[in-house]
Amino acid sequence: MEFKYSEIQRRGHPSVAPSLFVYICCKIKSQILGKYRKNKTIDFMFQERLGLLMITRRMKISIITGMLLGVVCIVGTSIRSGFEREVYWLFALWYNRLIMGILIGAPWKRISLNRSLLRGGGLGLLVSFAFYATSGFQDPVSFLAGIVYGVIIEYVACKYQNKTVKTHAAQ
């Protein structure tokens, strides 16, 4: 496969680098579509090959749970500090819980509930340690709460990822 600079110039794009990236992506997608025309997972394969993130139901649930637990963590930290923490500190703590939700919500391999809760605790430990270390090891309670929040996010994601909303049919 050869990409020519003149093909991109003919399209009249002002920037060559993003245009080249788009052009390469289109070429890759056309090759995938050509090879897997009969397969119904074409879009998934395209996203998988390019490393794009799929926003699944599990991801949405985990992000929302992480955001809500971040608010709980902000309230707890504010109370413990006597409402004397800076706004950027509280935002960083909330953002940490959001990142935890994104990481836990990623499409992981399905395993038993106990092992997934252990995975949630491990990911919570990993993400919370990053905040704990960069804050100068000042808030061990938030660090430990991050491990518990990781387990909570994983549990909620496992419990609600396959639930569907039932609608009542008109009788």
Instruction: Determine the pLDDT at residue 153.
Output: 97
pLDDT at position 164 is: 52
Q: What is the mean pLDDT of the chain?
A: 78
> How many whole angstroms separate alpha carbon 146 and alpha carbon 126?
9
Structure tokens at 39: 């397969």
- Could you read off the pLDDT of 81-105 as tens digits, one per residue? 999 999 999 999 999 999 999 999 9
35: how many CB neighbours lie within 10 A of its CB? Answer: 11
Report the alpha-carbon distance of residue 72 to residue 63 in Å, rounded.
14
- What is the distance between the alpha carbons of residues 167 and 54, in angstroms, rounded to a whole number? 26
Q: How far apart are CA 146 and CA 123, in angstroms?
A: 9
Instruction: Please tell me the pTM assigned to this model.
Output: 0.66
DSSP conformational letter for 83:
S
110-156 confidence digits (pLDDT tens) = 889 999 999 999 999 999 999 999 999 999 999 999 999 999 999 99
CA distance 145 to 53: 28
Answer for the pair 158, 96: CB distance below 8 angstroms, yes or no.
no
Mean pLDDT value across residues 64-72 = 96
Cα–Cα distance, 70 to 91 (Å, whole number): 9
pLDDT higher than 90, residue 80: yes
Q: Which helix (H) or strand (E) holds 95?
A: helix 87-105
Give the pair of three-digit tokens for residue 4. 């020519």
